[in-house]
């Protein structure tokens, strides 16, 4: 099973549209367009899972940089998500900045 990233999708594209686009290359296990959690609108990218690695590679070779809905698609093998850094893990909590006393003359 290969998971593919499909980017630069037209915002009106749907999961069934993706499934139809990739079905010409082989069996599509799943196809989804990622939507904004708050608005429900497409975020312009999605994922397609294909059963056969050769079919997935053929889809990448053919559809990457292919114009679809007026936009040039980005199609490649999906990479696993990186673990996100914990909250507040950037500036060390403000330690080490002075902390002296105020002098009065």
25-68-53 Cα angle (round to 5): 25
Largest Cα–Cα separation, the chain: 83
Tell me the pLDDT tens digit for each residue of 22-81.
Answer: 999 999 999 999 999 999 999 999 999 999 999 999 999 999 999 999 999 999 999 987
Tell me the pLDDT tens digit for each residue of 85-104.
Answer: 555 545 555 555 555 566 66
CATH class of 2-77: alpha beta
Instruction: Say if CB 31 and CB 15 are below 8 A apart.
Output: yes
Domain boundaries, the chain: 2-77
> Residue 86 CB: number of other CB atoms within 10 A?
7
């Amino acid at each position: 099973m290969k998971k593919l990233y499909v980017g630069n999708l037209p915002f009106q594209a749907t999961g069934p549209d993706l499934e139809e686009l990739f079905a010409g290359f082989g069996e599509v296990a799943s196809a989804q367009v990622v939507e904004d959690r708050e608005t429900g609108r497409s975020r312009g990218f999605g994922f397609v899972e294909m059963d056969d690695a050769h079919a997935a590679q053929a889809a990448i070779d053919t559809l990457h940089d292919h114009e679809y809905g007026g936009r040039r698609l980005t199609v490649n093998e999906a990479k696993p998500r990186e673990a996100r850094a914990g909250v507040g893990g950037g500036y060390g909590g403000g330690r080490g900045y002075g902390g002296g006393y105020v002098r009065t003359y």
